Structure 1
Amino acid sequence: MEQAVQLIASGDRELLNILSVTARMSLSSSLIALLLGVPLGLLLGACRFPGRGLLLVLNRTLMGVPPVVCGLIFYILFSGVGPLRHLHLLFTVEIMILAQVVLITPLLTSHMETYVAQIAGPVRETAKGLGLSRRKTFLLLLNESRYPIFSGYLLGFSRAIAEVGAVSMVGGAIAWKTNVMTTAIMQYTNRGNFSLGIALGLILLVLSLGMNLALSLLQRKVAS
């Protein structure tokens, strides 16, 4: 434990590299997933149209896809014999981000759809009473959803930094290139390098605690 704390305090180069790759992957994938999931969630929550039920079932199915299966699909697509091999994305941070987006977007879509479905009716009534246009009604709905949007991003980021299966398959956990916190903890612990594994574990726990506190505060804002 003492050596782990020293690694954190001294700013160990390998530790900082792992944190940098993790931040790049998690921040990018959760932001892209947010940009995709929020509009989809608003559409599914506020509108009734043919095929909506099918889209909801499809989204819930995607939410239940095991990360390793997602990783396997991406591996096959981008490997040397896959149809997308010419893109040369396998074992890069970019393909890790893509895999994370596929895993996180359904989660954020469902998060937004659940909340918007509850407030869409009252918002429409308010907008109708005020004589607002469809565009202004949409903006009002978006404004009322601002806290769930922020909490959705935190939810997506939490999922991203905790992911192991998909990122290890498509990223390969290559040192100084695609090794992230979760894969590094597993890798270094298996090698007997407990100091670095514990250091990364401590940082991950602190991050998880911070994000859970932020989520709790946002949920209180929504409830009030």
Structure 2
Amino acid sequence: MDVISEAFSQAIRLIGTLDDKLIEIVALSLRVSLSAVAIATILGLPVGAGLAVAKFPGRQTLVVMLNALMGLPPVVVGLLVYLLLSRAGPLGPFGILFTPEAMIMAQTVLIFPIIAALTRQAVEDAWNEYREQLTSLGARGWTAALTLVWDIRFSLITAVLAGLGRAAAEVGAVIIVGGNIDGVTRVMTTTIALETSKGDLPLALSLGMILVTLVLLLNAAAQSLKQLAERRYG
């Protein structure tokens, strides 16, 4: 018990003194996760909205596949991205394996199905409700899809937050494509795993506390923004 108490005390001390190594790891984690969420959101919103509104052969199969991809094992994604970025892979000449860019790519692949699938469900519900009204106004296809995305934009914050939660908790894929290199690709989750295995509990605990706090703050901020916007715009 004394060991755990001492570890917590040292963890709080690391946070309080703004340890350089701690700040570096947190900054890289935010860069990787937020970049991946931004890219996945830009790609996922139109894809999900398009699937919700469009009618074409094989649509239901794509919907089922998209929902299934929400549960992609991170280590499998990491392996696939590794093969793409390795020297023998098609993207090998770019030389981005074991860099933050590779980690962003892996996280984007993991997050995209989540945002796209949740967007599809939300937009499809709205489309079923407003289909006749939009059709009477001449809105069809992409016009209707983008109109609905804008109309329910505050509800779609939930989809983005789900993607952010997946990114923040990711370990397997980023270790494989990033290599967990100190000072280069070491993020909060991979450092927690490494330092815990080494027995360095203070650093692992301090990063764990920061990670939980950041996720809570981002979710609270997004929820507050959503509620404020709903009150203002109805």
TM-score, scaled relative to structure 2: 0.86
Aligned to 2:182: 175
| CA distance in structure 2 between the aligned counterparts of 1:80 and 1:143, rounded to whole angstroms | 42
Aligned to 2:197: 190
**Displacement of 1:118:** 0.9
Q: What's the CA shift string for 1:77-97, capped at 9, x where partnerless? A: 222333332111110000111
Name structure 2 gaps, 5 residues minimum. 1-7
Which sits farther off after the overlay, 51-60 or 8-17?
51-60
Q: What's the CA shift string for 1:73-128, capped at 9, x where partnerless? A: 11122223333321111100001111111110000011101111111022222334
The answer to whether the aligner puts 1:20 opposite 2:61 as a matched pair is no
**Displacement of 1:209:** 2.7
Aligned to 1:146: 153
Paired residues of 1:123 and 1:140 also in contact (CA < 8 A) = no
| CA distance in structure 2 between the aligned counterparts of 1:199 and 1:19, rounded to whole angstroms | 11
- Provide the secondary structure at the position in 1 that maps to 2:97: coil
- Provide the secondary structure at the position in 1 that maps to 2:183: coil
Name structure 1 gaps, 5 residues minimum. none
Aligned to 2:58: 51
- Provide the secondary structure at the position in 1 that maps to 2:156: helix
Paired residues of 2:67 and 2:113 also in contact (CA < 8 A) = yes
Instruction: Say which of 132, 135, 155 aligns to 1:125.
Output: 132
Residue correspondence of structure 1 range 64-103 to structure 2 within 5 A: 64-103=71-110
- Provide the secondary structure at the position in 2 that maps to 1:64: coil
Paired residues of 2:52 and 2:145 also in contact (CA < 8 A) = no
Paired residues of 2:123 and 2:149 also in contact (CA < 8 A) = no
Q: Closer, same or farther in 2 for the Cα pair 1:93/1:48, shift >3 Å?
A: same
| CA distance in structure 2 between the aligned counterparts of 1:20 and 1:213, rounded to whole angstroms | 20
- Provide the secondary structure at the position in 1 that maps to 2:82: helix
Identical aligned residues as a percent = 41
Q: What's the CA shift string for 1:61-80, capped at 9, x where partnerless? A: 32222100111111122223
**Displacement of 1:216:** 5.9
Give the letter aligned to residue 120 of structure 1: W
The answer to whether the aligner puts 1:61 opposite 2:83 as a matched pair is no
Paired residues of 1:40 and 1:109 also in contact (CA < 8 A) = yes
TM-score, scaled relative to structure 1: 0.89
